[in-house]
Chain A
Amino acid sequence: MGVGRRLGNLLGSAGVLAAVASIAFGLPAVDRAIPAGRPVPAGEPYEIGGGVTLVPPAGALLDVTKSRPGPDRGTALFLIGAVRCAVVAAPFTGTLEEAAARLRDKITATRGYQVTGREADVRTQSGLVGRQGGYTAPGRGGRYAVYLAGPVVVEVTISGTDLELRDVLRTIEESITTIARTGTPSPARAGP
């Protein structure tokens, strides 16, 4: 093989490497350079997905990269300072107790996370019934709540340090009481 063809092979290889690297590392770098938080209109219901809505906490930013409203399910992540409030709506056919147990399992599946105290019954302004509890983690703590809204379960997890939570917990709890279900979920799909 001549030097010219070997050089061509080297250039081609470099091109492939550059293309793979730009996808594997370049795109994430561009993504990190653009902030994900977007302000949400104050006092207006935000559609989580699956027909579930919530009025976001005052001053909250919506993390658009972690929020995916869909016809049958959805997620939304609100950022209130350093406190994160994640809301997940998904189809569910079990009881409220089963839904609460499932959320507890999800929380404690993360190493170092422990559920604390007893759960309390809660109710939203629209009449959805649910359970609420607390959890701790190294350097962090939080609350969780779970509601049944017809065939949809709504899971809420709030996390932050004690100091951060103390300032905004009341605002977030008020926001959670606005959870309501307004629509009918439609079937999901499959794709490559």
Chain B
Amino acid sequence: MSADTAVRPAPATGRRVPVHLPAFWLLLVLLAAGAAKVTLLLHGLFARYPAATVTAVALFALYAVPFWLFVTALDYLEREPPLLLAAAFAWGALVATAAAIPGATAAHNLVAKLTSPRYAAAWGSAVVGPTVEEVLKALGIVVIVLVARAQVNSVLDGVVYGALVGLGFQVVENIVYAVNAVALAGNGDRVGPVVATFFLRGFLAGLWSHALFGALAGAGIGYAVISARRRRSTRIAVAALALCGAWLCHFVWNSPVLVDGVGWGPYGVLLVLLLKGVPPLVGILLLVRVAREREADYYAAHLAELDDPEISTEGERRALSVGKLRSDARQYAYTSAGLRAGHAVRRLQRAQARLAVELSRAHDCADAGCADAACTEGAQGCRSPWVDRWRAEVLDQRARLRVLGHPEAVPPQPRPRDWRRWAGPAAGALALLLAWAAIRALGGS
């Protein structure tokens, strides 16, 4: 995939509510039906276990916030419309769960009828879970494409929408599992099993769960959408391959293989959880990284074409493409020139990102003979008023930074063997160990 086909910028006029599209009404109707069904389900749980249900909803709603922020921040340069992001999340939370409950139950039954209760008990979840759930989640991404095809303009966009569909599914499924754990415990309306489920499914299983599988399927669909120059069969094959990958990751995670922890007790179980979960997590994060770099390169090239250090320097363009480098640049400005410099760097980065996107749109607009309503033909070719607006904002923030004595928004030079490089993985490992200890303390297994 060349840089030309890695990204296809959304037209500035593509954010109207598409009431003329059948897919828009399909989405609305299915969301309403799913909302009704999930509300009934939660109402039934609340009637029997009010404290446990409220606790589960609150815990998993809070749990979704950092996931949401992380996923949406992946696509910093060209942010997706919030309504579309919410629609993706809602599809997973309402439509996919509402359809998966009867579908998965029936599929489980069919597995038992066609094989045996023993096989169904052992392998039913591994076979049925991915088959029903991954398909339903992938359909959510397809609906997003049908509703707003112009907004899915890179593989990364597919990742973002897929991850959010998966996150929505994950949240509602976890709430149901948590309250079911209370029912299984048989000790009345207690929150203990909810908290244990929160640690177990939220932390030990949460990092490599539906959001991850959905991201992989979304990457394939994103590729199929943007690769207009490829043959249709190739695009469909890539999307199908990504969906199969999501299915396989889900299957491996649900499979009963090594479920007893290779005979090493709880530590063996933890090891198996990591063995099943970490490889897909690392693989999909690498895929996301490649997709993000391709998108960043595409937009950074438009900034670089201006060849104006007042607009962006090479170091700033490099920092713009990676969340950690952006954050480091803000932190560096804050420590070396104060809070106002930190804020100015944040605004400069946002303005540079918006300018890059508008430049790419104007470029596409020129290719189309300035036919888009959002750009006009002038003395210097196609011109969008948004380009001028964001260029002015960039220059404004640059001037502010210059006054503050910190003219360039770049991260500090990395020091050799900087311990902070290991802070993230170490914090992740510590969180897993703490979650494991908490589950053991709460009596979970």
Q: Which of B106-114, B228-236, B404-412 contacts A (4 or more CB under 8 A)?
A: B106-114
Q: Are B99 and A24 in contact (CB under 8 A)?
A: yes
Asked if A102 and B139 make an inter-chain contact with CB atoms under 8 angstroms apart, the answer reads no
Q: Which residues of B contact A188 (CB under 8 A)?
A: 445
* Total B residues in contact with A, Cβ cutoff 8 Å: 61
Residues of A with C-beta under 8 A to B205: 190-192
| Cβ of A110 to closest chain B Cβ, rounded Å | 11
Interface contact A68-B102, CB-CB below 8 Å: no
Specify which chain B residues have a CB less than 8 angstroms from the CB of A189 in the assembled complex.
256, 259, 269
A-B CB contacts (within 8 Å), total count: 134
Q: Contacts A6-B21, A70-B121, A192-B205: A30 and B254 contacting too (C-beta < 8 A)?
A: no
Establish whether residues B110 and A191, one from each chain, have CB atoms under 8 Å apart when the complex forms.
no
With a CB–CB cut-off of 8 A, which chain B residues contact A62? 117
Docked complex: B1-35 residues within 8 A CB-CB of A: 20-23, 26, 30
Do A24 and B129 form a contact, CB below 8 Å, given A9-B23, A30-B110?
Answer: no
- A6 to B: closest C-beta gap in Å: 7
Contact across chains for A192 and B250 when beta carbons are under 8 A apart: yes
Question: With an 8 A cutoff between CB atoms, is A139 at the interface?
Answer: no
Q: Say yes or no: A65-B445 contact (C-beta < 8 A), given A13-B26, A20-B139.
A: no
Q: Is B179 positioned at the interface, with any CB of A under 8 Å from its CB?
A: no
Of the candidates A19, A28, A69, A106, the one whose C-beta lies within 8 Å of that of B186 is A106
Which of A13, A49, A69, A71 gathers the greatest number of chain B CB atoms within 10 Å?
A: A13
Query: Could you tell me which residues of chain B, from 127 to 164, have a CB within 8 Å of some CB in chain A?
Result: 129, 132-133, 135-136, 139, 142-143, 146
- Interface contact A19-B170, CB-CB below 8 Å: no
Contact A102 B110 (CB under 8 A): no
Which residues on B sit within 8 Å (CB–CB) of A186? Answer: 260
Query: Separation in Å of the B431 CB from the closest CB of chain A?
Result: 16
How long is the Cα–Cα vector from A13 to B30 in the complex, in angstroms? 11
Of A74, A191, A192, the contact of B121 (CB 8 Å cutoff)? A74
Q: A20-B95, A24-B98 given as contacts; is B109 within 8 A of A191 (CB)?
A: no
Given A64-B113, A189-B269, A27 contacting B107 (CB threshold 8 A): yes
A residues near B210, Cβ cutoff 8 Å: 192
Q: Contacts A31-B110, A187-B260 given; indicate if A23 touches B132 (C-beta within 8 A).
A: yes
B105 proximal to A (CB < 8 A): yes
For the complex, give the distance between the alpha carbons of A34 and B259 in Å: 31
Closest to B260 in A: A186
| CB of B303 to closest CB in A, whole Å | 32
Interface size on A, residues (CB 8 A): 44
Point out the residue from B30, B106, B118, B254 that lies within 8 Å of A27, measured CB to CB.
B106
Q: Is the CB of A192 within 8 A of B117?
A: no
Q: Determine the distance from Cα of A112 to Cα of B189 in the docked complex, in whole angstroms.
A: 21
In chain A between 151 and 192, which residues have their CB closer than 8 angstroms to a CB of chain B? 186-192
Q: Cβ of A9 and Cβ of B186 under 8 Å apart?
A: no
B105 A28 Cβ-Cβ under 8 A: yes
From 7 to 23 in chain A, residues with beta carbon under 8 angstroms from any chain B beta carbon are 9-10, 12-14, 16-17, 19-20, 23
User: With an 8 A cutoff between CB atoms, is A120 at the interface?
Assistant: no
**Residue from B118, B125, B136 within 8 A of A23 (CB atoms):** B136
Asked whether A191 lies within 8 Å of B254 as measured between CB atoms, the reply is yes
CB distance from A120 to the nearest CB of B (A): 22
**B99 in contact with A23 (CB, 8 Å):** yes
Tell me the minimal C-beta distance from B18 to chain A in angstroms.
9
Q: How far is the CA of A62 from the CA of B112 in the complex (A)?
A: 11
| Cα–Cα, bound, A151→B110 (Å) | 32
Instruction: A19 to B137: give the CA distance in the assembly, Å.
Output: 11
Given the complex, which residues of B lie within 8 Å of A192, measured CB to CB?
129, 133, 170, 173, 201, 205, 209-210, 213, 250, 253-254
Q: Which of B48, B116, B135, B187 has a CB less than 8 Å from the CB of A64? A: B116
Chain B residues lying within 8 Å of A67, measured Cβ to Cβ, are 112, 117
Q: Which of A23, A28, A68 meets B135, CB within 8 Å?
A: A23
Q: What residues of chain B lie closer than 8 Å to A25, measured between beta carbons?
A: 102
> Can you name 26 A-B pairs with beta carbons within 8 Å?
A1-B21, A12-B23, A13-B21, A13-B23, A17-B26, A17-B30, A20-B30, A20-B139, A23-B135, A24-B102, A25-B102, A27-B107, A28-B106, A64-B117, A65-B108, A65-B112, A65-B113, A68-B120, A68-B121, A102-B187, A187-B266, A190-B204, A191-B205, A192-B201, A192-B205, A192-B209
Chain A to chain B: the 7 pairs with minimum beta-carbon distance, closest first: A23-B103, A31-B106, A27-B106, A24-B99, A65-B109, A67-B117, A68-B121
Instruction: Tell me the A residues contacting B by CB distance below 8 Å.
Output: 1, 6, 9-10, 12-14, 16-17, 19-20, 23-25, 27-28, 30-31, 34-36, 49, 62, 64-65, 67-71, 74, 76, 90, 102, 105-106, 109, 186-192
* 6 more A-B residue pairs beyond the given contacts A30-B110, A64-B109, A192-B201, with a C-beta to C-beta distance below 8 A: A13-B23, A28-B103, A65-B112, A69-B118, A71-B260, A189-B269
